[in-house]
A = this chain, B = another copy of it.
């Protein structure tokens, strides 16, 4: 097991590079603080299609197309796609990718899916199974509210702990080529269940999973939080952030100086009324593809730990009284250029 490290991690001997990224977002995300970092802002929430679900599929399609275009590769040079979304039976990914004619591994990690896709994609490239792969994740406010919460027409009140699902898709081409920005290692999460039952407080459900993966990453690699310029969770929001910091403090790590949450960054709550922050697979995916990659490219940051977090529930599990367990996937991204 030459590349396996510690309990849950891999350090890649030949770290795959992130050859290109693409971020396509909706109107609200395009009005937020990160608006200048996205490749494309789409005004029409259905992208000219008949439903939110078809609109989300179109986001996936466009993000993949853009990432491939920016990589300078031909579609045929991508050997695998690793993809997932929040909808039951992954219909956003399916209908967005069905005409790609590229071997597909469908993934479900709730809002941690971007981390899961990058992890498996990096493992595949680093092992020599593929020269290039594509990792992609998406979410859509309209399709997610319909799937998990209330019909939009109902106009329900949202508690302050609730998050706002990001409309968008982030796509990444990983390659064996030499490149500055690489995935140097991963730490794969276990399901963590603290018994949270409030589907309007996902941050609290996911924070223990994030804490567990960050703790294990620091342990497995025998490093301190300041090894990283940023430790970046996906969509804990303000409520989840507080829990994460406390849980890690209780276990001997202070990450307050390094921590950033994509859900807190992507919207301006005082202007955009998004309560605890952004959420959804796309929240971390488009923030990584746009904002974080820019900070790494310009060397404002040199090393980050990207830890998107997922809340594992469905309306069926919730209505049957189950808890909301969490999972998170850690991806170590570095600028190794000179």
Contacts and interface: CB of A to CB of B under 8 A. Distances in A.
A34 interface: no
A87 B316 contact: yes
Nearest to A126: B127
A130 interface: yes
A325 interface: yes
Contacts of A102: 190
A109 to B, nearest CB: 5
A105 to B, nearest CB: 6
B4 A100 contact: no
B105 A190 contact: no
Interface in A73-121: 79-80, 84, 86-91, 94-95, 97-110, 116, 119-120
**Interface-central residue, A2, A98, A105, by most chain B CB under 10 Å:** A105
B3 A327 contact: no
A104 B320 contact: no
Contact of A89 (B2, B101, B106, B317): B317
Chain multiplicity (copies): 2
Interface stretch (A50-58, A64-72, A150-158, A162-170): A50-58
A219 interface: no
A10 to B, nearest CB: 6
Nearest to A187: B103
Interface of A: 1-4, 8, 10, 50-51, 53-54, 79-80, 84, 86-91, 94-95, 97-110, 116, 119-120, 123-124, 126-131, 146-147, 188-191, 193, 312-317, 320, 322, 325, 327
A120 B193 CA distance: 26
A191 B106 CA distance: 11
Contacts of A4: 79, 128-130
Given A4-B79, A313-B91, A98 B193 contact: yes
Contacts of A2: 128
A91 B317 contact: yes
A54 B320 contact: yes
A103 B316 contact: no
B110 A89 contact: yes
Contacts of A104: 188-191, 327
A51 B48 CA distance: 40
9 nearest A-B pairs in the assembled complex, by CB-CB distance: A88-B88, A127-B127, A103-B188, A89-B314, A98-B191, A91-B317, A106-B108, A94-B312, A88-B314
A317 B119 CA distance: 29
A3 B128 contact: yes
**Interface-central residue, A108, A119, A188, A313, by most chain B CB under 10 Å:** A108
